[in-house]
Amino acid sequence: MGNIDLIKQCQLGDSGSFSELYHLHRKKALGTAYLISNQKGIAEDIVQESFIECFQKIRTIKNPEAFEAWFYKILVRTGWRMVKKHNYLLLVGDQNIEGLSTAMDFNSELDTSETNLMIHEALARLSLPLKTVVILYYFNDMTIEKISKVLDCFPGTVKSRLYNARRQLHDVFKENELSESAVNVFFSTRKEYGLDGNA
């Protein structure tokens, strides 16, 4: 059954369609909530609250094609509210580092995992609106227009937020590259002078 048919069935009160709709969107919704909140527990709460609100108000949708934007609007708002409520510090903790190392493919380069950590660190430093735009654009593959509908703002605002977020991420990368090259220079100089510890 297609998404639109499912929504129409849900509007008629079919609980089977509710379940199907939930299973169709749960993974993406949980991912988005997790990226916004950075904590598994809060992410699950956000998804739960969002689906409850979605099922309660699904009858109000006039255009089923706009379901995704409508649902993510609920999800993002619930996410922001919960993150603010828990006064959660969006910093990459030890738990995330462990999680990443287990989730990563061992054959992939170490560099990639470091880059990922760097990105998460940089994302955690972004404000909630900037971070949300990045998540919706890169993770949910939404267009600027769709994001503007989700966030209830002008497409120009989304563009500027995306630009600012990219610039900040780029700056973080640059900083890290510079520090890395400084470390390399330091170690190569130590080697030259025979101070690498093995000598």
Partner 1 sequence: MEMHELDNQIKRALLCKTNEIEPSEEAFTLILAGLEKKQAHRTFKTSYKHYIITLLCALSVIFGITLTRSVDVKSSGMELINSVKTAIILDKSNIVFEKNADEVIKQTAISDNIQLAKADTSKNVGVSVFLLQTFAGCFLFNQVNDLELYLRFLIIGRMTLTQSWYNNKFRHGQVPSY
Q: List residues binding partner 1 (CB under 8 A).
A: 19, 22-23, 26-27, 30-31, 34-35, 40, 43-44, 47-49, 51-52, 55-56, 96, 99-100, 102-104, 112, 115-116, 119-120, 123, 134-135, 138-139, 166, 169-170, 173-174, 177
CB of 25 to partner 1, least distance (A): 10
Report the b/e string of 75-98 with b at 16+ CB within 10 A.
Answer: bbbbbbebbeeeeeebebeeebee
The Cα–Cα gap between 6 and 1 comes to 6
CB of 178 to partner 1, least distance (A): 12
CB of 51 to partner 1, least distance (A): 5
CB of 73 to partner 1, least distance (A): 18
Q: Which is nearer to partner 1, 3 or 48 (CB)?
A: 48
Q: Which is nearer to partner 1, 177 or 196 (CB)?
A: 177
CB of 151 to partner 1, least distance (A): 18
Q: Which residue has the tokens 């609100």?
A: 53
Q: Which is nearer to partner 1, 152 or 177 (CB)?
A: 177
Measure Cα distances from 178 to 112, 125, 172, 195 in Å.
Answer: 17, 19, 10, 23
Assess contact for 32 and 135: CB atoms under 8 A.
yes
Measure the N-to-C terminal CA separation of the chain; round to a whole number of Å. 70
Residue (of 47, 80, 71) closest to 149 by Cα position: 71
Q: Which is nearer to partner 1, 80 or 173 (CB)?
A: 173
